Amino acid sequence: MSVAHAGASVLLALVLWALVKRLTATKARAIDIAGPEKDHWLKGNYHRIFQDGLEYNLQLTEKYGGAVRIHALLGEEQLYVSDPRALHHIVVKEQDVYEETDMFIMGNKLIFGEGLISTLGEQHRKQRKMLNPVFSLANMRDLLPTIQPIADQLCDLLVSKITAGEQEIDIVPWTSRGALEYICQAALGYTFDALNPEKTSEYAEALRRFSPTALRLILIRPFVPFFVRNFSLQWRNRIMDWYPSSLMHRTCKGIYADKKSAIEGTLVDGSLKLNEPQGATGFRSRGRDIMSILLRANRPSNVRDMLTESELLGQMNTIIFAGFETTAIATSRLLYLLASRPDAQARLCREVRAAKMAHVGDSARWQDVNLSYDVLMGLPYLDALVRETLRVYPPTSILSRTTRKSTVLPLEFPVRSASGQEVTSVPLPENTTVIISILAANHNKEIWGEDASDWRPERWLTSTGERILPGNRDGIKYPGVYASMMTFLGGGRACIGFKFAEMEMNQVLTTLLSTLHFSLPAEKEIYWKMNGLQVPVVRPPAGDGQTPQVPLKIRLVRDDDY
């Protein structure tokens, strides 16, 4: 037998051993809660949550309530949860019991390195302690003026495409390029010149390919722990070389080296020298970017809390990925919703114009006014639009946890057991996977009302336009870190950058709507697939139903648009 055949036989034996072990382990972990029957002997019904799964996700909770048994890969039973008390226990009260799955932690460590989403326990708490001040309101206020030129450049770019009048433009490439510039300049103090139409970037292309690649591999992700535990580092690196994250990591490593030299005084002007042309919007942070602040805080005077180079690189990869695609998707969805609701667009335009005119100087046009952080974040209708969009259409629909010991999960609202009895808690064996349904929680009619699935920004406002916080039914609410919704999660593993994401979206909207008007194309139906992440497509016959795109008609704003 050849060495190659012997190696293949050993690999096959290891895979079969992992399958048998998984099947025998899952049989002993039955969950006594009602749920749908499996659709497929191998995939169960788990795949339906991810594959254009908006209606399926909402039907699960409509039929079974806030705790549902799901059949996952190879017959494993998992618990699908959207109940508010249950989620409070999972993400806040007993977060040490409900930890990220091995698949999530090991997969993220392979892809991003030792960042916030790849660590547990004391290491995660140490990283979080170091990063929390970096995302403070004070730092957000400092960052806002330095990143305003990105929104201006995006607006100018779109204006340049409509010189002959109203044009149909796919906004997805441009919201993606803008989001990349925002996160790279704010996080790294570095520009890829992504808003230059004449320039392509390998790094930007790798980021764009990342999520579609991950989605195609979703059914083999449960085998990531097996892969990590049974293959050497050399083999793991070889296999990962084809993945887009390999280029992402190499790029961040080069930026980190120059950033570190700048902090240590080697580059006295504080700029980065990476043989990349410095675009008109680059290098404005001058030490106020997130990594510069983090590197200055990570000094030898505080050795016990210092992050290693591997951890710092992990933060760079994590922050860029987390702040790129989800924000680009949310911004595209906001513009699409405004195009489909002319009344909402007009109301927002009036609010933005009034705020800018209140701060305009003698020689400036009101459209060119840059709003301060407090004014920008204090616009009631803009705030309502962003919150309602993030609630109804969260960029990420689910996350997972696993029980590190046997436990009992309490419920706010009773559900049915597999035998039909009403229960108010769910016994969970050790190593049970729990699916946190952000989507179902944000659409829970018990909390948000019978119109929970309707996009209605006015729910965040009084009849006279003052801001209010819905999502509280007789003291029952979700433990979300952002406006009582679960979009950015809650507890010790909540999204650390949600304030930056909110600021970015507000700034882009106020800048674009001061100059541009958006409407839907007449003969194209835009459909948003929920594939874990949102994927906008154009349905046939005008589109292929697969390619991500949001074509909108764009023209200059007119007085009668207000």
Beta-ladder partners of 528: 536
Please report, as a single letter, which amino acid is at residue 423.
V
Do residues 504 and 467 make contact, with C-beta atoms less than 8 angstroms apart?
no
- By C-alpha distance, which of 475, 433, 473, 435 is closest to 452? 473
Question: Residue 257's CB: how many other CB atoms inside 10 A?
Answer: 14
Question: Residue 224's CB: how many other CB atoms inside 10 A?
Answer: 21
**Could you say which residues of the chain have pLDDT below 50?**
1-14, 17, 24, 26-28, 267-284
Predicted pLDDT of residue 281:
36
- By C-alpha distance, which of 9, 212, 221 is closest to 104? 221
- Which helix (DSSP H) or strand (DSSP E) does residue 89 occupy? none
Cα distance between residue 56 and residue 443, in whole Å: 13
Cα distance between residue 13 and residue 227, in whole Å: 13
DSSP strand pairing (398-403 vs 67-71): unpaired
Predicted pLDDT of residue 95:
94
φ/ψ of residue 140, rounded to 5: -65, -40
DSSP strand pairing (77-81 vs 433-437): parallel
Cα distance between residue 134 and residue 293, in whole Å: 7
- By C-alpha distance, which of 288, 311, 304 is closest to 296? 288
Predicted pLDDT of residue 280:
32
Give 335: exposed, middle or buried? Use CB within 10 Å, 0-12, 13-18, 19+: buried
Cα distance between residue 522 and residue 444, in whole Å: 33
Domains of the chain, CATH where assigned: 131-392+495-561 (1.10.630.10)
Cα distance between residue 252 and residue 326, in whole Å: 20
Would you say 349 is a known binding-site residue? no
- Residue in this structure with the two tokens 């704003």, named with its chain if needed: 557
Beta-ladder partners of 473: 476
Predicted pLDDT of residue 3:
40
Predicted pLDDT of residue 265:
65
Do residues 73 and 219 make contact, with C-beta atoms less than 8 angstroms apart?
yes
Do residues 65 and 83 make contact, with C-beta atoms less than 8 angstroms apart?
yes
Residues 6 or more apart from 131 whose CB is under 8 A from it?
116, 294, 315, 496
**What would the pLDDT profile of 359-379 be if each residue is shown by its tens digit?**
887 667 899 999 999 999 999
- By C-alpha distance, which of 15, 31, 43, 108 is closest to 429? 31
Give 314: exposed, middle or buried? Use CB within 10 Å, 0-12, 13-18, 19+: buried
**What would the pLDDT profile of 163-186 be if each residue is shown by its tens digit?**
999 999 999 999 999 999 999 898
Measure the CA dihedral 375/379/382/386, to 10°.
70
Predicted pLDDT of residue 244:
61
Do residues 213 and 313 make contact, with C-beta atoms less than 8 angstroms apart?
no
Do residues 294 and 131 make contact, with C-beta atoms less than 8 angstroms apart?
yes
Cα distance between residue 562 and residue 560, in whole Å: 5
Measure the CA dihedral 455/460/463/467, to 10°.
-150
Residues 6 or more apart from 296 whose CB is under 8 A from it?
263, 287
φ/ψ of residue 552, rounded to 5: -125, 150
Give 75: exposed, middle or buried? Use CB within 10 Å, 0-12, 13-18, 19+: middle
Count CA atoms within 13 Å of residue 335 on its CB side. 29
Cα distance between residue 327 and residue 154, in whole Å: 15
